[in-house]
């Protein structure tokens, strides 16, 4: 048999007391925090990784721009308490080399030096500087 259409509408209403409202409010707040906290952690993690990536890229750019040997020299020299800045140190070392042993880095003689000869020349210059202290 077919169903007949309803003739009346009955409304059921649920009313909460003050205590139930407080409990429901605590549940809603706790549930919002529980669902939002992981998103905050993920956002913080992404921001932290972005900062680390920026820092590493910046350091690599500085290393590339400055040259690996200058960067290595700076890191070593910063550990020596006698040296105030790298530029001052370069000037002090150059001044400590005797006049007859000096090589101008813009000269043809410096261009013709091999890497080994340049290295040993720099070591001798440092040795002269160390002896002058």
Separation of alpha carbons 52 and 66, rounded Å: 21
pLDDT tens, 81-121? 555 566 676 777 778 888 777 777 677 877 787 878 878 88
SS (H, E, C) 8-56: CCCCCCCCCCHHHHHHHHHHHHHHHHHHHHHHHHHHHHHHHHHHHHHHH
Q: Does residue 51 surpass a pLDDT of 90?
A: yes
Write phi, then psi, for 13 (nearest 5 degrees): -125, 130
Q: What is the pTM of this model?
A: 0.34
Let me know the angle formed at the C-alpha of 110 by 68 and 124, rounded to the nearest 5 degrees.
75
């Amino acid at each position: 048999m077919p169903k007949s259409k309803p003739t009346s509408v009955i409304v059921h209403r649920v009313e909460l007391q003050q205590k139930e409202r407080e409990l429901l409010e605590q549940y809603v707040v706790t549930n919002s925090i529980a669902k939002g906290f992981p998103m905050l952690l993920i956002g913080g993690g992404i921001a932290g990784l972005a900062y680390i990536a920026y820092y590493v890229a910046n350091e690599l750019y500085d290393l590339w721009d400055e040259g690996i040997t200058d960067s290595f020299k700076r890191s070593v020299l910063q550990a020596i308490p006698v040296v105030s800045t790298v530029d001052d140190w370069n000037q002090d070392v150059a001044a400590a080399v005797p006049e007859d042993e000096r090589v101008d880095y813009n000269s043809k003689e410096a261009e013709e030096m091999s890497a080994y000869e340049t290295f040993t020349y720099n070591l001798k210059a440092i040795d002269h500087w160390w002896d002058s202290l």
